[in-house]
Amino acid sequence: MENLTREDIIEILKDDSQNEALFSYADKIRKQYVGDEVHLRGLIEFSNICKRECKYCGLRCENKSVERYRIMPDDIILYAKKAVDMGYKTIVLQSGEDEYYSCDIMCKIIEGIKKLNVALTLSCGEKNYDEYKAFKNAGADRYLIRIETTDKKLYEKMHPHADFENRIRCLKDLGKLGYEVGTGCLVGLPEQTIESLADDILFFKEINADMIGIGPFIPHQQTPLKDAPSGSFNLALKVMALTRILLKNINIPATTAMETLNPNGRIIALQSGANVVMPNVTTTEYRAKYEIYPGKICINENPTQCRGCIEGKIKSIGRTISDNYGFRSN
Ligand code: SAH
């Protein structure tokens, strides 16, 4: 399992007879390299306004039926403060590509949050080098930007007017600037091949990503992909398990999309290679509106309920909640 080739990965992804062995091997590697601690990241989805047209995403600008919102900078900092008071050691700020948040505004938010002595991850899409640099100087520690798929043709089909090379440039710039870099892919996009999923995993290894988020594609009714079939939970889990086996000491979240497809999805993911969970720390009013895909979990819960619920589940499988910032282990 140590030196899997592209052909090996393809074979494993195609053959479902050894899935349990694969998941338990990924779990063993997880335990050996990152231990039993689970890192909780407090997620603030601060704006659902987006200028992009990603075909799979419910927040694409053409979707006129979603009620749009923006959380104001001071309120974002307030949510972060509440999350820190609840014990979170990392805050994740995620949004659509919303130009309201200029570089200066973002830097003020970052500085406000960093005063709380917490690690900070951003996930706000494609920016230029100078913007990423300014965010880093303001104190941001990590950045998440999924490549979504490394199949350039499919990428271009899924992202009208977007440029695959620019997405790659973003990842490279973030690495150069000293961020912990997170990327990942969707599993089950229309026309996506098993071969390209193998390439995705090898790409994660090639760029030496520090965090990898993998989730199944879930069709959204107000998008051009509304009639496409949902991605497979098991295939997404296999891509995640193989990523753990190849990249070993990185941070891998048990994604919310996994739980949307399987009521126990995050716990199964935590037992198949994952070591991170990202509970939502905003109030109910925003949760349903950040509808990147339908059936998002926890939309009627408040931050305290979410924290309590996930802590209980994590402890029930013999794992512990980490008390540190949860940077990539050595
Ligand atoms: N604007 C930011 C954040 C995007 S939302 C960015 O561009 O990085 C975070 C992730 O949600 C996306 O990277 C995508 O992989 C995932 N996502 C979007 N629509 C989805 C869908 N229909 N099903 C499953 N995951 C989806």
CB 52 within 8 A of CB 58: no
Q: What is the pLDDT of residues 100-154, one digit of tens each?
A: 999 999 999 999 999 999 999 999 999 999 999 999 999 999 999 999 999 999 9
pLDDT one-digit tens code per residue, 273-326: 999 999 999 999 999 999 999 999 999 999 999 999 999 999 999 999 999 999
State whether the beta carbon of 125 lies less than 6 angstroms from ligand 1.
yes
Q: Which of 100, 106, 186 to mutate to test the pocket of ligand 1 (most atoms within 8 A of CB)?
A: 186
Helix (H), strand (E) at residue 48 = none
Burial (CB count within 10 angstroms: exposed 0-12, middle 13-18, buried 19+), residue 69: middle
Nearest CA to ligand 1 atom 25: 217
- Taking the whole predicted model, whether its pTM rises above 0.85 is answered as yes
Cα 3 to ligand 1 centroid, rounded to whole Å: 30
Query: From the CA of 242, how far away is ligand 1's center (Å)?
Result: 21
At residue 64, the pLDDT reads 98
CA 1 to chain CA mean position, Å: 25
Does ligand 1 lie within 6 Å of residue 278's CB atom? no
User: Using 50, 70 and 90 to split pLDDT, how confident is the model at 4?
Assistant: very high
pLDDT digits (tens, 9 = 90+) for 198-247: 999 999 999 999 999 999 999 999 999 999 999 999 999 999 999 999 99
Q: What is the mean pLDDT of residues 250-264?
A: 97
Does pLDDT of 2 surpass 90?
no
**CB of 290 sitting under 6 A from ligand 1:** no
Mean pLDDT to the nearest integer, 177-186: 98
Q: Please say whether the beta carbons of 53 and 161 come within 8 A.
A: yes
| pLDDT exceeds cutoff 80 at 268 | yes
Q: How far is CA 292 from the centre of its chain?
A: 12
- pLDDT at residue number 75: 98
Tell me how far apart the alpha carbons of residues 147 and 197 are, in angstroms, rounded to a whole number.
Answer: 12
Q: Are strands 37-47 and 90-95 parallel, antiparallel or unpaired?
A: parallel
